[in-house]
Amino acid sequence: MQRDKPEMITVETTVHAPVDNVWTYWTEPEHITKWYVASKEWHAPKAENDLRADDKFITRMEAKDGSFGFDFGGIYDEVILHDTIAYTLNDGRKVTIAFTSQGNTTKITEVFEGEFENSIEMQRNGWQAILDNFKTYSEQADQGITLV
């Protein structure tokens, strides 16, 4: 079925860590490079993040075998500490991420405009896989477990 306007796609998870720690793991480049991948065949060798409205972020994503790579980036529209990050991707699509503190856990809800090249299901699965990696990384980091 041909789509004529972007569909909004939602992915979410609950991380067993307090929101201040989750925020740090989400926003600091030294953490981003450790979790921002959809599968083990990929890595994120570089991340830059200027977490302020109207400033930029970029994460380099590459296949570990060197066969493919791309920059994932955009400009922040809104940043509310420990609560909301909204940005516009370089291709013009909008993304909003909500961090909801639930005591020692944090619910993360990402809503993003789908693109037209890949199916909605494929996009949802890819973004959910990255979010699942974030959950695993954050929970292990919060327990002092070092990830390679």
Domain boundaries, the chain: 8-142
pLDDT digits (tens, 9 = 90+) for 51-110: 999 999 999 999 999 999 999 999 999 999 999 999 999 999 999 999 999 999 999 999
Q: What is the pLDDT of residue 2?
A: 59
pTM, rounded to two decimals: 0.91
- Crossing angle (nearest 10°) for helices 19-27 and 120-142: 120
Q: Are 44 and 59 in contact (CB under 8 A)?
A: yes
Question: If pLDDT is split at 50, 70 and 90, which confidence band does 143 have?
Answer: confident
Task: State the architecture of 8-142 in CATH terms.
Answer: 2-Layer Sandwich (3.30)
